[in-house]
Structure 1
Amino acid sequence: MSSLPIADLILAEMDQSARAGNVPRHRRLYEAIRSAILSRRLPVGSKLPSTRDLARDLGLSRNTVVTAFEQLLAEGYVSSRTGSGTFVADTLPEPATEELAPERQSRNSHHNGAIAPQHAPQEGTTAAVGATLSVRGRRVADHAAGHRYEIQPFVPGDDDFSVFPIKLWQRLQNKYWREARPELLDYGQNGGYLPLRRAIADYLRVSRSVRVTVDQVLITGGTQHSLDLCAQLLADAGDTAWVEDPCYWGAQRVFESRDLDLHPVRVDDEGMNPTAEDQHKPPRLIYLTPSHQYPKSVVMSLARRRLLLDIAARTGAWILEDDYDSEFRYTGRPLSSLQGLDTHDRVVYMGTFSKILYPGIKVGYMVVPPALVAPFRSALYDLQRPGQMMQQAALADFLEQGHFATHVRRIRQLYGQRRELLQRTLKPILGNAATLSKEESGLHLVIQLPPGTDDERLAQEAAEQGLQVRALSTYYLGAEKERGLVVGYAYVPTDKIAYYGRLLGNVVKAASAGRR
């Protein structure tokens, strides 16, 4: 059967995205097919043309089509059957077993004896925009004017900033210090340095499929600052925040400091898995690390992503997508963002340069929904007094001149080598005593231990050997905890990986022998 009808449909989708400009052809093709699948113009079970036929019909190289198909397959939009072809997968989330509670009673309702209206998105005027914010957020917008880790082998979450191109960075900064432009010595009053926001928007649009305009990008002091701003503007004291269980400790601390009611939702092999019981406690905020869950390392499935987007849309919740290390995927291309699937503007996307360049740079970014741009911009200025405009200007040049992409390629290769070497070192030592997580991205892996293991004691024993690992159980909020060790491999010289890996492996092996 001719593939032309499907090819014509895909070509029409590609024509609509032609304004994307510098987006590579394989990315435009991927996005066109993805859009047709999500809109059901390509129904579940539809067989796609072969890569050879589609390349011929669209006038593209076969490699371009193969690359797009591989990305669709990796993200679950299509399935491949050997000898049969490629088919559109069923990406719809399973329906919830019970409907979420239609409304929530405000913790502050006792002040007037009335039930406060449910937070829900509304369309319309400026007053409607205010209704999307928390009470604290509206008040701020209306008045516009852990634990510290030592730098030791296997510390989780840190990058190897010793390989950062310092001399190049100095040259870029010196250019602006010689000019000493007055506007670069002031606070940042418009959400950050415009050329940097533009460079970030271009980067996210191409590499992460983020739906973004320059106005939506705000420069912050890092992910912690971004989370704190969201907690202040989008939730009130006592509101419920769904967090992954296990959860990044930094997010826990921020939400607790803002008096939010943390509700842990278990993470399985597909990411956060809200049950009917969880859904009896509707969230105001949902904190997620979908591209590489921290600390378990799993990647959230497409069906689970759509389920959580559906929950957010139905309850008026905000999803906070922490995309902290998406650049470090060692097989295939980086996965697309959750925000790129959001059609209801319920996702606040955030990232940081601290995991790529060096921790002390303290520059992060947020992409906020259009209705939140003005209040978030004014609150960013009023609450955090952002600055470092000279540094932002140098960083803009670092991105625009291609140095960022070069640096990412270099350290991705370096960290991938270290990850592989650490795995090869640990596996023969551990034997059946423990298993290694099978992640293909990030800056850490998890040594998964048998139930009942005292992983905190193991972490202490590793510290006595000069190794800084973290017990997996300490990341959990709920009573049911998995046991393991979170091991960072980025901040270890390649020639020392095997040595330190043997030390750590022997600590775990000795503990296992003591249990028998």
Structure 2
Amino acid sequence: MRASVLSDWLAQRLDRGSAQPVYRQLHKLLQQAILSRELPAGARVPSSRLLAAELGIARNTVTQVYEQLVLEGYVTSATGRGTFVADTSPDEIVGATEIGSMQVRKNSDVSGAVLPGGAVATNSQIARVAESLAVAAPGVSTASGPEAVAAAHPQRPTARALSARGARLIGSAGVSKRQGGAFMPGVPDVSRFPARVWTRLHNKYWRSLRPDLLTYAPGGGLALLRHVLADYLRTSRSVRCSPEQIIITTGIHQSIDLAVRLLSDPGDTIWTEDPCYWGVRSVLHVSGLNTRPIAVDSEGLNPSPADFAAPPPRLMLVTPSHQYPLGMVMSLARRRMLLEYARQHQCWIIEDDYDSEFRYGSRPLASLQGLDTAGQVIYVGSFGKTLFPGLRVGYLVAPQALAESFATASAELYREGQLLQQAVLAEFIAEGHFTSHIRKMRALYGQRRQVLLDAVSRRYGDALPAMGGDAGLHVVMQLPEGSDDRAVAEAALARNIVVRPLSGYYSSRERANPGLLIGYACVPDEEIAPAFETLGEAIDTTLPLLA
């Protein structure tokens, strides 16, 4: 291809007023032309001096583009012979007689591509190639790689269809596009986080620039954090553990994923509460486990005679201190029953203790793990609600006999890091800032909880009772039987209010009770009542019998 033809085509598409640098535009244009095979394999590209002069840009810019294309394998370059388009197509699908497979004779002094057999492409052929480029690339494209090929050949799929497991995960996904505002459940007030203290500790470690904090984490996480966390859990949650039993993770999801991977095989059965947290259910679905939903009552997990008659599960997943999402506390009798059943049948219990620090009017309850004498409870927790969700630090307390295996598996599977963050967190806990922050936030959330309950009572009285408000960061407002809580949630979202439909937490619609999860922790006091009035409008509009 002659320089004038190529340069004219490029000049028409380079946007000199764009925020995107000319270097990147030129690189993408040449890359796209090569990938689409409109700039044929074997074609000689103009020298950097000539192309720069034709385009009116710096020669260094063209040189850098050519060097990048060489590194990426799009072109080849030989001193004294020039730069040529590389053949990037698989041999078996490249047509030997197509213009896209033109080959250059390396011993020829040519200014254009050479057809098979030695004939030099004519100006009209080159012009047709340029014309087809104009059709294939009407403007500057940021696509590269497979995307650019797909753009030139739209009949080719860019990716295979999702697996059955992937489709099931996406089809039942409960993640929200909104992560804050009234009334997003489970989100703390991050504006009250003691940022100055955290920044001081963070800067302290950065100034010391310890290399051992900038590498991969050892199995289980930073030793200092494991030690201070063991002290905290023993004191505040009655967890029986040594530092060696604690595995630092990125949160509840990863902790449960690790336990499931080490303690079960695909096809094994796990008992889950019904309803339960959608995120945990997704982790279990992709693991290949057979989930058996167990109904809950006022005392927590309540297995039926049919559940006991079935083959025992390999795992049980429970939230005994504050059932999610309904909020009841598992009774001592039910806890002892569950531990005895697990001991007799060699089951593992995963205890999800996600927000036990926030109880209003009473002290936090002791953990189920603290009652375990057989070493069959895996205790998991997180700092996402006590500090801030973006911290992404959680923990798992493994039984003593399995602690080393859990630490090894964590390092093998997840290759953790964030040691600097863990060091800051460890000192934050050791200096007493963590417990002080929890005390302040417990008082704040308790006050906001009461403001919300008052707003519910003023508008609906006893018609729509709120439950589960003795702990945590949300309440559940019950709706009349047969109500469409999903429609209410959609109507609320249209008014910029976020609530979650309770029915989405059940294993099936047939077993579901309608209701709304209403979070209050991240909503300023003065905004709660007006926001609830807006939510009330959505409820009354969707469920006119309540109006």
Aligned to 2:440: 410
Aligned to 2:455: 425
1:380 aligns with 2:410: yes
- Give the SS at the match of 1:277: helix
1:320 aligns with 2:350: yes
Aligned to 2:176: 148
Aligned to 1:458: 488
Matches within 5 A, 1:5-44: none
Aligned to 1:271: 300
Structure 1 residue corresponding to 2:245, chosen from 193, 196, 216: 216
Q: Give the AA of the match of 2:402.
A: L
Q: Which runs of 5+ in 1 are unaligned?
A: 1-145
Q: Which runs of 5+ in 2 are unaligned?
A: 1-173
Separation in 1, partners of 2:541, 2:300? 32
Aligned to 1:228: 257
Q: Deviations over 1:114-148 (max 9, x none)?
A: xxxxxxxxxxxxxxxxxxxxxxxxxxxxxxxx313
Q: Give the AA of the match of 1:213.
A: S
Aligned to 2:426: 396
Q: What is the Cα deviation at residue 227 of structure 1? A: 0.6
Query: Does the Cα contact within 8 Å between 1:433 and 1:509 map onto a contact in 2?
Result: no
Separation in 1, partners of 2:462, 2:251? 40
Q: What is the Cα deviation at residue 515 of structure 1? A: 6.5
Separation in 1, partners of 2:219, 2:284? 26
Q: What is the Cα deviation at residue 149 of structure 1? A: 4.3
1:180 aligns with 2:209: yes
Structure 1 residue corresponding to 2:269, chosen from 229, 233, 240: 240
Q: Which segment drifts farther, 428-437 or 152-161?
A: 428-437
Q: Deviations over 1:286-342 (max 9, x none)?
A: 011111111001111111111111111111111100100011001111000000011
Separation in 2, partners of 1:399, 1:244? 32
Matches within 5 A, 1:482-497: 482-497=513-528
Q: What is the Cα deviation at residue 281 of structure 1? A: 3.6
Q: Give the AA of the match of 1:152.
A: G
Separation in 2, partners of 1:221, 1:192? 11
Query: Does the Cα contact within 8 Å between 2:326 and 2:468 map onto a contact in 1?
Result: no
Structure 2 residue corresponding to 1:362, chosen from 389, 392, 399: 392
Q: What is the Cα deviation at residue 366 of structure 1? A: 0.7
Q: Deviations over 1:465-494 (max 9, x none)?
A: 111101001100043111100111111111
Structure 2 residue corresponding to 1:334, chosen from 358, 364, 369: 364
Aligned to 2:476: 446
Query: Does the Cα contact within 8 Å between 2:449 and 2:469 map onto a contact in 1?
Result: no
- Give the SS at the match of 2:199: helix
Q: What is the Cα deviation at residue 432 of structure 1? A: 4.3
Query: Does the Cα contact within 8 Å between 1:433 and 1:512 map onto a contact in 2?
Result: no
- Once superposed, what is the RMSD of the aligned Cα atoms? 1.3
Work out which of the two has the higher radius of gyration on C-alpha atoms and give 1 or 2. 2
Query: Does the Cα contact within 8 Å between 1:244 and 1:287 map onto a contact in 2?
Result: yes
How many residues get paired? 371
Q: Deviations over 1:235-294 (max 9, x none)?
A: 100000110000101110101111000110001111110111112141111011111111
Query: Does the Cα contact within 8 Å between 1:211 and 1:339 map onto a contact in 2?
Result: yes
Separation in 2, partners of 1:168, 1:219? 22
1:343 aligns with 2:387: no
- Give the SS at the match of 2:358: coil
1:503 aligns with 2:534: yes
- Give the SS at the match of 1:376: helix
Q: Give the AA of the match of 2:175.
A: H
Separation in 1, partners of 2:458, 2:248? 45
Runs of 4+ in 1 over 2 A off after TM superposition: 505-516
Separation in 2, partners of 1:344, 1:303? 17
Query: Does the Cα contact within 8 Å between 2:238 and 2:367 map onto a contact in 1?
Result: yes
Q: Give the AA of the match of 1:426.
A: V
Structure 1 residues 329 and 149, CA, compared in 2 at 3 Å: closer, same or farther?
A: farther
Q: What is the Cα deviation at residue 513 of structure 1? A: 3.4
Aligned to 1:167: 196
Q: Give the AA of the match of 2:514.
A: R
Separation in 2, partners of 1:165, 1:207? 21
Separation in 1, partners of 2:229, 2:462? 45
Identity %: 49
Separation in 1, partners of 2:482, 2:466? 17
Query: Does the Cα contact within 8 Å between 2:326 and 2:476 map onto a contact in 1?
Result: yes
Query: Does the Cα contact within 8 Å between 1:159 and 1:358 map onto a contact in 2?
Result: yes
Query: Does the Cα contact within 8 Å between 1:216 and 1:367 map onto a contact in 2?
Result: yes
- Give the SS at the match of 1:327: coil
